[in-house]
């Protein structure tokens, strides 16, 4: 409803293309920045996931080593 | 165990700040296009003013703020202040590019030229931008993180002091082509002044949000890198191809760690 009076109030030779260009450029800059940050965030997430998996594997290996009996004890048991 | 980032581990202010920014933007640009009257001389083209002027103000304030944070860094030797100063200046540079582009578009529509070399406001802003364009090369040319932070702080303080001096010098100059929107010569009607103020708040909020976002991202990356190093893990996508790893040494967040930086 408010657009209609605005549209009729526009003077001749308004230069609205320039206004649109300025606002588009600004939002494009913000968008590019946010996209770059999102890409970096994805990389951090991937790194964090890999780090978590590696840590988990390390913990599993440690648990397995603790559970396995020493070799000499196993040999004595077989004799 | 490596802590997994959860939504709860995000800084509490970031979400609020983001929502406030979106709301402020909707209100500001609603006012710009549906409330503020169309200017008699420039017509609809004057609407660029509500974007260009707040961008310029926030950019210059950001440069000065970066200098103040650098002072805090030199006073306390706390690397967090250096990081804040770096992020503020980095963001001001991005906003500065926006200011230059929107200003050029306005100049083209209003004066028929993309750039007017005889206009002191334009040239002085360009000089400030070129000055700060040397900040990052200077910073990353130094490998030792301690020296890097110290030299960058000295630069930020010197350049930050130059910004208000430059502004004052331009105001004292006599040739005025550039419209004055602030100060005694301003004759903005109240509706336009209110719209400009709300637009300024919106842009300032955007600046704060993006700074906070980048700070959080940088701290997370540093934390990840330091954890990777502790675990002796070099295969991660984030850790292997970083020739410039020296530029982002982990910022100590705990008091004892900060004390360690002091001692060094």
- Give A-chain residues touching B207 at CB under 8 angstroms: none
Determine, for residues B224 and A10 on separate chains, whether the beta-carbon distance falls below 8 Å. Answer: no
Determine, for residues A54 and B231 on separate chains, whether the beta-carbon distance falls below 8 Å. Answer: yes
Which residue in B has a C-alpha nearest to residue A6's C-alpha?
B34
Which residue in B has a C-alpha nearest to residue A52's C-alpha?
B2
- Give A-chain residues touching B47 at CB under 8 angstroms: 19
Name the least confident of A15-19, A23-27, B204-208, B248-252.
B248-252
- C-alpha to C-alpha distances, B77 to B139, B155, B232, B237, B260, nearest whole angstrom: 17, 16, 29, 31, 10
Q: What is the 3-state secondary structure (H, E, C) of chain B?
A: CCCCCCHHHCCHHHHHHHHHHHHHHHHHHHHHHHCCCCECCCEHHHHHHHHHHHHHHHHHHHHHHHHHHHHHHHHHCCHHHHHHHHHHHHHHHHHHHHHHHHHHHHHHHHHCCCCCCCCHHHHHHHHHHHHHHCHHHHHHCCCCHHHHHHHHHHHHHHHHHHHHHHHHHHHHCCCCCCCCCCCCCCCCCHHHHHHHHHHHHHHHHHHHHHHHHHHHHHHHHHHHHHHHHHCCCCCCCCCCCCCCHHHHCCCCCCHHHHHHHHHC
- Give A-chain residues touching B96 at CB under 8 angstroms: none
B188 φ/ψ sector (left φ>0, alpha ψ -120 to 50, else beta): beta
Token pair, residue B198, equals: 């709300």
Which residue in A has a C-alpha nearest to residue B31's C-alpha?
A2
Q: Nearest-CA neighbor of B106 among B207, B170, B191, B181? A: B181
* B48, burial (CB in 10 Å: exposed 0-12, middle 13-18, buried 19+): buried
Determine, for residues A46 and B236 on separate chains, whether the beta-carbon distance falls below 8 Å. Answer: yes
Tell me, yes or no, whether A2 lies in a domain. Answer: no
Determine, for residues A23 and B51 on separate chains, whether the beta-carbon distance falls below 8 Å. Answer: yes
Which residue in A has a C-alpha nearest to residue B97's C-alpha?
A29
Asked if B88 and B160 count as a contact pair (C-beta separation under 8 A), the reply is no
Which residue in B has a C-alpha nearest to residue A54's C-alpha?
B233
- pTM for the model stands at 0.77
What is the residue range of A37's domain? 20-46
Determine, for residues A22 and B1 on separate chains, whether the beta-carbon distance falls below 8 Å. Answer: no
Where are the domains positioned within chain B? 12-179+188-218
What is the interface pTM, i.e. ipTM, of the complex? 0.75
Query: pLDDT per residue over B211-221, tens digit each?
Result: 999 998 888 88
Report the Cα B100 to chain-centroid distance in Å. 14
Determine, for residues B228 and A51 on separate chains, whether the beta-carbon distance falls below 8 Å. Answer: yes
Determine, for residues B217 and A14 on separate chains, whether the beta-carbon distance falls below 8 Å. Answer: no
Query: pLDDT per residue over B180-189, tens digit each?
Result: 655 555 678 8
- How many structural domains does chain A have? 1
State residue A58's pLDDT score.
83
Token pair, residue A6, equals: 């605005």
| Confidence band of B5 (pLDDT split at 50, 70, 90) | very low
Closest partner CB to B231 (pick from A25, A30, A51): A51
Top pLDDT among A68 and B134 is at B134
Tell me, yes or no, whether A37 lies in a domain. Answer: yes
Which residue out of B47, B93, B114 would a mutagenesis test of the A interface target, given it has the greatest number of A Cβ atoms within 10 Å? B47
- Mean pLDDT across the stretch B193-215? 93
CA distance B194 to B92: 24
Strand partners, B43: B39
Q: Nearest-CA neighbor of B209 among B117, B60, B95? A: B95
Query: pLDDT per residue over B161-172, tens digit each?
Result: 999 988 888 877
Tell me, yes or no, whether A39 lies in a domain. Answer: yes
| Confidence band of A75 (pLDDT split at 50, 70, 90) | low
Kindly compute the dihedral angle of the four CA atoms of residues B75, B77, B81, B87, in this order, to the nearest 10 degrees. 120
Q: Closest approach of chain B CAs to the CA of A66, in angstroms? A: 18
Strand partners, B39: B43
- pLDDT over 70 percentage in chain A: 66
Q: Nearest-CA neighbor of B114 among B99, B129, B101? A: B101
Query: pLDDT per residue over B38-90, tens digit each?
Result: 887 778 888 899 999 999 999 999 999 999 999 999 999 888 999 999 999 99
Q: Closest approach of chain B CAs to the CA of A69, in angstroms? A: 26
């Amino acid at each position: 409803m408010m657009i209609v009076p605005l549209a009729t109030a526009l003077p001749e030779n308004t230069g609205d293309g320039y206004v649109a260009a300025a606002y588009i450029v600004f939002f494009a800059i913000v968008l590019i920045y946010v996209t770059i940050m999102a890409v970096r965030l994805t990389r951090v997430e991937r790194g964090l996931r890999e780090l978590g998996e590696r840590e988990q594997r390390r913990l599993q290996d440690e648990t397995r080593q603790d559970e396995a009996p020493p070799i000499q004890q196993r040999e004595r048991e077989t004799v | 165990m490596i802590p997994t980032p959860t939504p709860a581990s995000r800084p509490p202010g970031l979400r609020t700040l983001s929502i406030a920014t979106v709301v402020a933007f909707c209100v500001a640009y609603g006012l710009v296009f549906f409330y503020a009257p169309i200017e008699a001389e420039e017509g609809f083209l004057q609407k660029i003013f509500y974007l260009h002027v707040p961008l310029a103000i926030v950019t210059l304030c950001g440069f000065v703020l970066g200098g103040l944070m650098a002072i805090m860094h030199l006073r306390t030797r706390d690397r967090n202040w250096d990081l804040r100063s770096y992020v503020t200046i980095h963001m001001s540079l991005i906003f500065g590019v926006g200011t230059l582009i929107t200003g050029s578009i306005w100049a083209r529509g209003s004066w028929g030229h993309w750039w007017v070399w005889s206009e002191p406001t334009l040239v002085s802003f360009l000089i400030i931008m070129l000055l700060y364009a040397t900040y990052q090369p200077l910073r990353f040319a130094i490998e030792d993180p301690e020296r890097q932070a110290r030299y960058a702080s000295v630069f930020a303080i010197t350049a930050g002091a130059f910004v208000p001096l430059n502004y004052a010098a331009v105001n004292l100059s006599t040739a005025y082509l550039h419209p004055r929107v602030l100060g005694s010569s301003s004759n903005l009607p109240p509706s336009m002044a209110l719209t400009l103020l709300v637009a300024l708040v919106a842009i300032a909020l955007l600046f704060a949000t993006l700074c906070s976002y980048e700070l959080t991202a940088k701290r997370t990356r540093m934390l990840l890198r330091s954890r990777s190093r502790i675990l002796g893990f070099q295969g991660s996508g984030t850790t292997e191809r970083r020739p410039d790893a020296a530029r982002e040494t982990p910022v100590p967040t705990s008091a004892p760690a900060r004390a360690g930086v002091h001692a060094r």
